[in-house]
């Protein structure tokens, strides 16, 4: 209780120092939240399967992005093999540079709603009776191209009317969806498609071969596409832990300084029989206040900076995701920072005997 009174007195009399301590803790935690949130954003966008359905695609390709082209007749073969349905899709990258590259998906307008989960942000879904030049665009693509419902997006040199904007929370939000026939015409593929969506639990399982050139893969797990971000993520992980270490050292130094400013009071209390617990309580209370306030301030800073640190690569864009997973990890890290800082500052403070502190005074 006495230690808490000393901390309360410091909050009033040394407000500038305490506020500076909170800010010094908040800045590294802001960086940690943004870097860890960026890693989380990539995981959510690329490494989380959004459905239990399976894909039939060319072996050694990433059919949900590009690189797979198979005949439409494969659909009949899949039905004969026991699949209850086989819905064709086209996936390709269109454009001539990073500036105009777009992820294109050709969908079976009659059946895609049965196997595709998304939220319509504005407008309406694509239907079988829509004009061949109608398109749905993902929310990230809409933002990067500054286009919305009723606008126009250019795909492979042709203008398409945007009839709706959708969101899935994954990399798919960077896609433009057109009818299967429109995609085939754009690419000059004739009747060929990229993949077939089939149900899980049937005769085919992930990793199986189908014919001589096709294979079965889980839908929604685009691990190879996520490799584009690996160097950035590795750097982010190193940066995250470096910021955590910096926060612990900064907090330990400031706690030691606060204890030094209170060295006479703490020495008297220890001489009266309160022992080392009063020092530990003083440091812990100060550290807990700085960590809690720094975490709250860091979360606000990170939320404000999310739009600024969003990043776009080839046809993909991603940004930090400050979801409960990231916040819990940051809070756990905050507790670890508090523990390390308290131990380090406690060791430095308790090395000095109460008698020596009183003698100096």
Q: How many folded domains does the chain comprise?
A: 2
Do 41 and 61 belong together in one domain? no
Query: Looking at per-residue confidence, does 116 or 61 come out higher?
Result: 116
| pLDDT higher than threshold 60 for residue 322 | yes
Q: Which of 26-40, 211-225, 290-304 has the highest mean pLDDT?
A: 290-304
| pLDDT higher than threshold 90 for residue 301 | yes
Do 202 and 298 belong together in one domain? no
User: What's residue 40's pLDDT?
Assistant: 82
Helix, strand or coil, per DSSP, at residue 262: coil
| pLDDT higher than threshold 70 for residue 311 | no
User: What's residue 269's pLDDT?
Assistant: 67
Read off the pLDDT of each residue in 43-59 and give the average, rounded to a whole number: 74
Structural domain of residue 41, as residue ranges?
Answer: 2-46+228-360
Query: Looking at per-residue confidence, does 298 or 350 come out higher?
Result: 298
Do 270 and 286 belong together in one domain? yes
| pLDDT higher than threshold 80 for residue 313 | no
| Torsion sign across C-alpha atoms 184, 188, 190, 193 | negative
| Average pLDDT over the chain, rounded to an integer | 82
Contact yes or no for 71/90 (Cβ under 8 A): no
Of 201, 221, 241, which residue constitutes the final position of a domain? 221
User: What's residue 152's pLDDT?
Assistant: 93
Do 84 and 216 belong together in one domain? yes
Do 216 and 315 belong together in one domain? no
Do 242 and 135 belong together in one domain? no
Task: Specify the pairing of strand 209-210 against strand 158-167.
Answer: unpaired
Query: Looking at per-residue confidence, does 38 or 341 come out higher?
Result: 341
- 358: pLDDT confidence band, cut at 50, 70 and 90? very low
Do 215 and 235 belong together in one domain? no
Residues of the chain with pLDDT > 90, as a percent, come to 30
Contact yes or no for 286/25 (Cβ under 8 A): no
Nearest to 127 by CA among 81, 170, 178: 178
Q: Which of 8-12, 204-208, 211-215 is predicted least confidently?
A: 8-12
Contact yes or no for 48/171 (Cβ under 8 A): no
Question: What backbone torsions phi and psi does residue 103 show, to the nearest 5 degrees?
Answer: -80, 120
How many Å separate Cα 70 from the centre of its chain? Answer: 33
Do 216 and 234 belong together in one domain? no
| pLDDT higher than threshold 80 for residue 51 | no
Taking CA 255 as the corner, what is the angle to CA 253 and CA 256, rounded to the nearest 5 degrees?
65
User: What's residue 244's pLDDT?
Assistant: 81
Residues of the chain with pLDDT > 70, as a percent, come to 84
User: What's residue 242's pLDDT?
Assistant: 83
Do 299 and 331 belong together in one domain? yes
Q: Which of 79-88, 205-214, 258-267, 284-293 is predicted least confidently?
A: 258-267
- 134: pLDDT confidence band, cut at 50, 70 and 90? very high
């Amino acid at each position: 209780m006495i230690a808490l009174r000393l901390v309360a007195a410091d909050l009033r009399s040394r407000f500038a120092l305490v506020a500076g301590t909170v800010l010094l803790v908040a800045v590294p935690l802001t960086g940690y939240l943004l870097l860890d949130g960026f890693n989380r954003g990539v995981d959510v966008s690329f490494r989380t399967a959004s459905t239990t359905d399976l894909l039939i695609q060319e072996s050694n390709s990433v059919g949900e992005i590009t690189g797979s082209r198979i005949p439409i007749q494969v659909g009949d073969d899949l039905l004969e093999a026991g699949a209850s349905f086989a819905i064709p899709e086209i996936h390709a990258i269109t454009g001539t540079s990073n500036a105009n590259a777009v992820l294109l998906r050709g969908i079976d307008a009659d059946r895609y709603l049965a196997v595709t989960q998304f939220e319509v942000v504005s407008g309406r879904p694509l239907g079988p009776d829509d004009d061949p030049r109608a398109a749905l665009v993902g929310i990230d693509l809409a933002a990067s191209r500054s286009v919305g419902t009723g606008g126009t997006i250019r795909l492979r040199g042709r203008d398409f009317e945007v009839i709706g904007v959708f969101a899935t929370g994954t990399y798919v939000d960077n896609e433009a969806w057109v009818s299967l026939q429109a995609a085939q015409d754009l690419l000059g593929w004739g009747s060929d498609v990229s993949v077939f969506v089939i149900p899980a639990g049937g005769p085919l399982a992930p990793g199986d071969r189908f014919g001589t050139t096709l294979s079965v893969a889980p839908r929604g797990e685009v691990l190879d596409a996520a490799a584009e971000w690996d160097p950035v993520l590795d750097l982010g992980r190193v940066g995250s832990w470096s910021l955590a270490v910096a926060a612990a050292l900064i907090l330990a130094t400031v706690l030691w300084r606060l204890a030094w400013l209170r060295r006479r009071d703490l020495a008297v209390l220890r001489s009266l029989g309160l022992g080392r617990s009063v020092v530990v309580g003083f440091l812990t209370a100060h550290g807990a206040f700085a960590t809690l306030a720094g975490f709250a301030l860091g979360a606000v800073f990170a939320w404000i900076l999310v739009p600024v640190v969003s990043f776009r690569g080839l046809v993909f864009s991603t940004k930090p995701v400050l979801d409960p997973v990231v916040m819990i990890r940051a809070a756990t890290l905050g507790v670890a920072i508090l523990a390390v800082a308290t131990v380090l500052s406690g060791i430095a403070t308790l090395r000095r005997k109460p008698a020596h502190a009183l003698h100096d005074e």
